[in-house]
Every structure is written in structure tokens, then in C-alpha cells.
Structure 1
Amino acid sequence: MKNNWQFFILIESLLFVYLIFQIFSTIPLMIAFVAGLVMSIWSLKNKFTKGYNNSFFLVLGGLLVVFVLLSTSSIWLMLIFAIFFFSISGSQLFTNMKNKNFSNAPWKRKSLVVVETSSTTEKNGKRMKRPWIGNERIGNAIYEWDDINFSIFAGDTIIDLGNTLLPKDESFVVIRKGFGKTRILVPVGVGVMIEHSAIRGKISFEGDSYTLKNETVKMYSDQYEESIRKIKIITNVLIGDIEVIEV
């Protein structure tokens, strides 16, 4: 992880140097950038002076600086690389899960939970809004099962099926994702079928691991046909890994 951050800082630093070069090698951009900085600094130094001129020059100077930055290709490259990096390697969600010692992992700890039953909720017309970017864990608490189907641009996802009761026959988990990792925790005894498609990524399932390069793979758990409860996992990602763990 430390090497990843060093690589990120190195690339961003090089892009920052390229940004400075772009600004000061173009006369109009250089004049606008320097003028914006001068107006902003002057306004901040005189912010306690009465009147509206200071606020006006502060806003004008800030707009000039932002306009110059957005006019360069290097600032967009910095933003794109930062989004890509944090989507793939910057998340802390999976850091603790990658320790060599899994003895304290949440799915290793067993406890007796008394479930308070209630009438089923209405599912017809049910709407759920999910963020486009961000990490998410589904199944922190006991919940009533409903098929999972969502899309996300970037972020890591954990789905814990151990806190729900899967119905007999088939259930579905469908995930469409741009960038990020996915981990699905499945109770012992549930038959699993996983169909994973990725431009670049790795799939780990029942001790097997494959690296995909613009490929699709379909895998079945042992005793899938004989299982009373089955879960079908269908995922499509641009870049990202998926891991299915039996708990």
C-alpha cells in the first residue's frame, strides 16, 4: 500500500510540474493566472477594510485562477488519475481484510442472534437510491431478503448474505460497476452460480482465482444442483476484482 501511495504522489507531482509549465509557457494564461493570484492575495490582505471592492476582486481573482486551471489538460489528467487511483487502490474498506491472519475477521465470529419477526414489507414499486461513487456494505444488520440489482460508477462493495434468510429456489445479485472491488459473503450450504465479466480484473471463488482481460467467466459451486437455496451472482465491471467467500 505504501508503494501505491508513493506511485500516486510521484505521478501527481509530475503532472503538477507539467501544469506549471503549461501555464507559464502560454502568455495569455500566464497573465490571467498571475493577475488572479495578485487580486486574490491583495483582497485577502485587505479583508478588514470596509467596502465591497475587496470581495469583488477576491471573487474575480478566484474565477481567473479557476479558469486558467480548467483551461489546461494537465489538471484534467490529475483529476482523472486521482479518481482512478482511489477507485482501485485508495479504499481502506478492504485493507483490514487483506491481513494474513483472518482469525478476527467478522465472518469468523459466530454469535447467537434472536430475530424479531415482523410482517413482510411491500415490494411492489419499491425505489432505492444509491450513490454513484463511494464504498458500501450491504447486510450490516439483519434484513429481509430482496433481490439485489444496482449500478455504481466507482467504489468498493461488500454484500453479506449471512444476515438474511434466502428463500428456497433461486435468488439474484446483479451488479454493474465501473471501477472497484466486490466481496460477497455467502452462507454455507447455499449453491452459488457466478457470472463475471470484466475488461480487467480478478475473480476468486472456492479456492480458484482467474485474471480476466475483456473476458466473461461462469462458475458453479460444488453441489449447486442439489442445493435447496441458490444464489445467482451476475456482475459486469470495467476494472475491478470480485471475491465470493463462504461463511
Structure 2
Amino acid sequence: MAQPAPGLETIALGIGTLGMALGTLAFIAMGAGETNEKKQEFYIITIFIAAIAAVSYFSMFMGFGVIEVVVDGEALVIYWARYADWLFTTPLLLLDLALLAGASRNTIATLVGLDVAMIITGLVGALATEGAAMRIAWWGISTGFFVVLLYFLVSTLSKNAAQKSGDVAALFSTLRNLVIVLWTAYPIVWIIGTEGTLGLIPLGVETAAFMVLDLAAKVGFGFILLRSRDVLDQASAPSAQAAD
């Protein structure tokens, strides 16, 4: 397996830490003075997304949250802190989308359940030591949960958003499409990288790729959402409860 470029992992994790920390501060500033409790939900959720990711990246940058597992006689570096990050931040991202769309509690529970199953089975795949085939099998199970999650995003959640105003529906579509594109890249990077044991890209490149995806999916997502203050006003306006 190819070795990572010297220092590339450290640089990527450092950029990730700085980017998430700056995103957190920016989101706090954007939400300062907001008194509408419904709108505050979007700011609070989005701030915690970036803050949790910042802590995760800092831990990895400092050498914590990482272990080695031996697969077929070869030691693989696994950043388990990345999965801990995703376990909390990805449901929060979905919650932002669900609140924007005016989704029901049943829909939110379904999305979060699918997401948690996706992350946990992905972590099992990353930690599996029985061989490459077993790791890839767990990747397939995790990807299966992801495909079902996508179905709910483009069907039920989109149907809820279509009942909102044009501006809210348009913002939802933008954020939903961003999530679909970026989240689809994660399992691809995983399977072609060192964790999928294919090793088509080295660990340093894999770490940098995940960092870019994380910044776009968390900080980029947050800026698009929170800068749309007028749209959030419309989304926070009292309306009929969404159907299950």
C-alpha cells in the first residue's frame, strides 16, 4: 500500500480543525441577537455541528481518536474520532433539513435512525479485522442504509418542503442536493482508500479528502442555511403540522 505524503495528514487535520473552529465562531456571530425561538433552533443546531467537528478534528490533530487494526497482516490506521463526529453531526444536519421542510416527528425519527445505523455499521467495517471481504461487506450494509436514507430525503422530506413557500422549498432543494452529492462521496472515498483496504489512494490523500468533504458538508452547509435569514423567517412561521 502506498504511504501517505509526509505531513499531509497533519496538514489536513490542522486545516479541518481551523476551518471548523472558524465556522463555529462565524455561526455564533450570525445568530447573535436572534430572538425568534424557532429561528434560534437552526443557529443552535448548526453551531453544534461545527463545534463538535472542531473538537473531533483537534483530537485527531493531537494524535488522539486514532488506532491501528491489523487486517490480513497489514496495519491500518483508523481515525475512530471521525465516526464519533459523524454519529452526532450527521443527525443534526438532517434535523436542520427536516425543520426547514417542516417534517413530522416520525419522518425525523426515521431519518435519524437510518443515519445512526449507517454510521455504526460503517464504524464496524472500519474496525473489522476478519479480512478485507468482511470490511467490504460491512461497507455494503452501511451503504444500503445510506441508499434508503436518500430515498426518504428525495421523497418524504421533499414532499414536506414542497408544501412550504417557494423560497423555503428552493433553499431546501439546494441544501438537500448538497447533502446528496457530498454524502455520496464519503463511501466512495472509504472504499477506494485505506479503510476499504483497496488502497487506491494513500492515507494522507484519504484524510485530506474527508476533510474537504467535512468542511463543505458542515461549514458550507451552515453558511448557505444561516445566511438565508428571510427564508428562515418563512420557515419559522406558524403552519399546519406536516403529515407523517
Pairwise same-fold verdict (TM > 0.5)? no
**Greater RCO (CA < 8 Å, at least 6 residues apart):** 2
Greater helix share, structure number? 2
Greater C-alpha radius of gyration: 1
Q: TM-score normalised to the size of structure 1?
A: 0.29
Q: Which has the higher strand share?
A: 1
